[in-house]
Structure 1
Amino acid sequence: MKNFLFCSLLALSFHASPALSASSITEPAAIASPASACAEHYNIVISVSDKEKVELALGNAQNLQSELGTACTNIEIVHVSAAITLLGPMSQKAPLLKEALQHGVKLVACQNSMNKFKMTEDDLLPGITTVPSGVAEIVRRQKQGWIYFRP
């Protein structure tokens, strides 16, 4: 009886070892990246046109990252109209803008609005990107399934 149990356990260990070795082979590939560790991933586009709402939009982005997880969110703030005038390196909002960029928030300036205010890309804080039309960018993002938010 002891021999039967020993042989049965030995046979089971041989059958289990390929499964164990297979899982250890695939384990490194199964290591989750920060984004894949999210229960849900969020793509959020925020529109800001008023200078008075730039700080509010940045705070909203920070709150979203805090609540949903920085790795679980793609946040793009599209600045149109007068809001683009606060995107320069000498702006009173520059420290907040830099902080947002460091946390992975994409800051976008509307080229149409920049033209209206006689601004060039050289007038923008490094790291801020431009699009030909801010409203078209928002429409494209919505069509791609991004959540639209306006403070």
Structure 2
Amino acid sequence: MKTYLFSSLFLMLTLFSATNLEAQQMDSSKNNYVVLTKKVAQLQPIILTAEALKTEEGDAFGDFQIIICGKEIGDITDSEKMGEFIKKAEKAGVQLVACGFSLNKFKVDKTKIPKEMITVENGILYNFQLQKKGYKSLSL
């Protein structure tokens, strides 16, 4: 019985200590954001939001990423549509991210993806990974 009690107590202390360490590793001095969108046209209001938050928060503004996924992912290869968004995103410090799963599913030519964008294997998984790191998330 004593062994069971001590084992349970040890297990509980280990779990609570590990949780505490993980919370300490997150940098709460910066506000980080991730937005998951399915439409390139939504980049305009999302980037405007990033610019407003950057102005409002000053030094507390951290990272801002926009993940593009879904059946309209092919629009990112249209330089006319993307050109202005890429300039605005760079100026605002916003990282544009393409979902590799969507690129594959909808057979998008990866050589036509703007070089300023990064590609991740799975945009939804990447979004969850950022949320686990403390990012505030919105899906449109």
Q: Distance in 2 between matches of 1:55 and 1:103?
A: 12
**Aligned residues, how many?**
113
TM-score, normalised by the number of residues in structure 2: 0.68
Structure 2: which amino acid aligns with 1:136? Answer: L
CA distance in 2, matches of 1:138, 1:129: 14
- Secondary structure class of the residue paired with 1:61: helix
Moved >3 Å (runs of 4+):
none
Unaligned residue ranges in structure 1 (runs of 5+): 1-39
Instruction: Name the CA distance, whole Å, in 1 between partners of 2:69 and 2:119.
Output: 11
Q: Give the SS at the match of 2:79.
A: coil
Matched residues, percent identical?
Answer: 25
Deviation, 1:53, is 2.1
Q: Which has the higher contact order (CA 8 A, sep 6+)?
A: 2
Structure 2: gaps (5+ residues) = 1-28
If you compute each CA radius of gyration, which structure gives the higher value, 1 or 2?
A: 1
Q: For the structure 1 residues 149 and 128, does the alpha-carbon distance in structure 2 shift closer, same or farther, using more than 3 Å as the test? A: same
Alpha-carbon distance in structure 1 between the residues aligned to 2:80 and 2:60: 28
C-alpha distance after superposition, 1:122-150 (max 9, x if no partner):
21112100000000000101111111123
Q: After alignment, is 65-74 or 42-51 more displaced?
A: 65-74
Partner residue in 1 for 2:118: 129
Establish whether residue 147 from structure 1 lines up as the match of residue 136 from structure 2: yes
Instruction: Name 1:30's counterpart in structure 2.
Output: none
Per the TM alignment, residue 64 of structure 1 is displaced from its structure 2 partner at its CA by 1.8
- The residue aligned with 1:42 is 31
Q: What TM-score results when the alignment is normalised by the length of structure 1?
A: 0.64
Cα 1:143/1:81, change in 2 over 3 Å: same
Structure 1 counterpart of 2:44: 55
What corresponds to 1:5 in structure 2? Answer: none
**In 2 relative to 1, CA 123–73 (structure 1 residues): closer, same or farther, beyond 3 Å?**
same
The answer to whether the 8 Å contact 1:131/1:137 transfers is yes
Could you list the per-position Cα deviations for residues 76-109 of structure 1 after superposition, in whole angstroms to 9, with x for gaps in the alignment?
1111113523323513232122221243211100
Give 2:71's aligned residue: 82
Query: Partner of 2:10 in structure 1?
Result: none
Provide the aligned C-alpha RMSD in A.
2.3
SS of the residue 2:96 aligns to: strand
Partner letter of residue 93 of structure 1? Answer: M
Q: In 1, are the aligned partners of 2:38 and 2:71 still within 8 Å (CA)?
A: yes
SS at match of 1:93: helix
**Which of the numbers 89, 103, 107 marks the counterpart of 2:92?**
103
